[in-house]
């Protein structure tokens, strides 16, 4: 545990970095995403400061392409979720009983957000969540069985974040289960492993936050189960089906990542005291560049800033940018060589190996010799064999489709 003084100082630094940039509340998705590239200091600092990275990406001139959701997907998701929760959770109770082998405890479905008229404040929702949780854990007779839209406080990098689960806490046989409703399909007993993984990671964050909250309330954290219930659509229908997932591994990862994130102090120590990201145009680029990034292609599907970082990584160094832009497997084959031009110079024998590079240099020279033996000399800018075909000439694309379309 850090002392309040240190935390206060860090909070001040982070506030300065953020300036007037809009903040983003952490949700389970952002916390779960911390696991995506934990070695990236830039992401660590921006996340700790709670900066809305989409806005920053716009300012940097590299608007994020990632993160948009189709209106069709959103619509389907909402309809599906409403259906599962309808009638005080009748369908949900049936699913829980079926998958967990025990009936959910008696009690109402309490919606923390929509219980009263008007949208309650954050503090109100947290208080209601705590209250409902405490009563449920004590097994009070009128305690709720299903808690919808809870708001869970969680300390992320020394800052209190509020998690808004798109999940529920359900009480079954005296234990609380996190229930996530996702509208993707389980077809013949299997589902997209990537979607399952991200649902599992998010659920683990909720489990973590709930267990923390339970501990704060003086309860045994084990009252929150490490098995979660995932509700999905069955096959090609709208009918819900539930499965139990063991999230203990993901829970351990979440705990590790959050612990590591509290190490943001060290990252800040490397930065100039006056640094802020709340500046325009080129200055923003310069400011962000002060915090080193660890760009890898996987960032493209995980981080709003990825296009900026990719451009930076491609443009850095003397010859063609960082080898990391080509993927981790390419990077792994090159030992510690960082720069594309540098690696090629070793392969071509135009640069001598520095101490520690001898193995890689030898490997690259042999590899180049074999490539040359098979392909002939590769001149810079040379094209692959078989590419020099004439480009086709034809009518404009759209018109051709119209011509032959309209069957039936």
Nearer to another protein, 20 or 383 (CB): 383
Q: At what angle do helices 340-348 and 358-375 cross, to 10 degrees?
A: 70
Question: Residue 408 class from Cβ within 10 Å (0-12 exposed, 13-18 middle, 19+ buried)?
Answer: exposed
**Helix (H/G/I), strand (E/B), else coil: 234:** strand
Buried b (16+ CB within 10 A) or exposed e, 284-293: bbebbeebeb
- In the bound complex, what is the minimum distance in angstroms from residue 104's beta carbon to another protein? 22
List, in order, residues 6 or more apart from 346 with CB less than 8 Å away: 337, 353, 357, 360, 361, 364, 365
- In the bound complex, what is the minimum distance in angstroms from residue 54's beta carbon to another protein? 14
Neighbours of 55 (CB within 10 A): 16
Nearer to another protein, 140 or 246 (CB): 246
φ, ψ dihedrals at 60, nearest 5°? -75, -10
- In the bound complex, what is the minimum distance in angstroms from residue 101's beta carbon to another protein? 14
- In the bound complex, what is the minimum distance in angstroms from residue 226's beta carbon to another protein? 10
φ, ψ dihedrals at 49, nearest 5°? -75, -5
Nearer to another protein, 119 or 249 (CB): 249
- In the bound complex, what is the minimum distance in angstroms from residue 133's beta carbon to another protein? 26
- In the bound complex, what is the minimum distance in angstroms from residue 246's beta carbon to another protein? 5
| Under 8 Å between Cβ of 170 and 102 | no
Nearer to another protein, 30 or 276 (CB): 30
């Amino acid at each position: 545990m850090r002392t309040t003084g240190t935390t206060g100082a860090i909070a001040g630094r982070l506030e300065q970095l953020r300036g007037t940039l809009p903040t983003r509340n952490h949700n389970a998705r952002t916390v779960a995403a911390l696991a995506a590239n934990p070695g990236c200091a830039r992401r660590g600092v921006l996340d700790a400061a709670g900066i809305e990275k989409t806005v920053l990406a716009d300012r940097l001139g590299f608007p994020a392409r990632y993160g948009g959701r189709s209106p069709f997907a959103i619509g389907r998701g909402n309809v599906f979720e409403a259906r599962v929760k309808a009638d005080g959770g009748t369908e949900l109770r049936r699913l829980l009983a079926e998958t967990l082998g025990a009936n959910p405890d008696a009690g109402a479905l309490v919606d923390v957000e929509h219980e009263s008229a008007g949208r309650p404040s954050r503090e109100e929702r947290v208080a209601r969540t705590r209250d409902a949780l405490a009563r449920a854990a004590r097994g009070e007779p009128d305690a709720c069985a299903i808690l919808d839209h809870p708001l869970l406080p969680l300390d992320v990098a020394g800052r209190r974040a509020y998690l808004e689960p798109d999940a529920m806490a359900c009480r079954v046989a005296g234990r609380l289960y996190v229930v996530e409703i996702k509208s993707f399909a389980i077809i013949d007993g299997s589902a997209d492993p990537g979607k399952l993984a991200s649902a599992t990671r998010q659920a683990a964050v909720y489990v973590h936050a709930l267990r923390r909250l339970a501990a704060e309330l003086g309860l045994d954290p084990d009252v929150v189960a490490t098995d979660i219930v995932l509700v999905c659509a069955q096959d090609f229908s709208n009918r819900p089906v539930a499965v139990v997932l063991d999230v203990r591994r993901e829970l351990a990862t979440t705990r590790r990542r959050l612990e590591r994130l509290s190490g943001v102090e060290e990252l800040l120590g490397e930065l100039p005291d006056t640094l802020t990201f709340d500046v325009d145009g080129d200055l923003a680029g310069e400011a962000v560049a002060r915090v080193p990034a660890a760009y890898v292609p996987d960032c493209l599907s995980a981080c709003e800033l990825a296009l900026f970082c990719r451009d930076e990584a491609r443009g850095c160094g003397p010859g063609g940018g960082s080898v990391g832009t080509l993927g981790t497997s390419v990077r792994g084959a090159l030992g510690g060589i960082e720069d594309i031009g540098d690696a090629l110079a070793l392969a071509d024998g135009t640069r001598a190996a520095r101490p520690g590079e001898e193995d890689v240099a030898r490997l690259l020279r042999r590899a180049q010799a074999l490539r040359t033996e098979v392909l002939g000399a590769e001149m810079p800018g040379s094209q692959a064999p078989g590419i020099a075909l004439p480009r086709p000439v034809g009518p404009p694309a759209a018109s051709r489709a119209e011509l032959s379309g309209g069957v039936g």
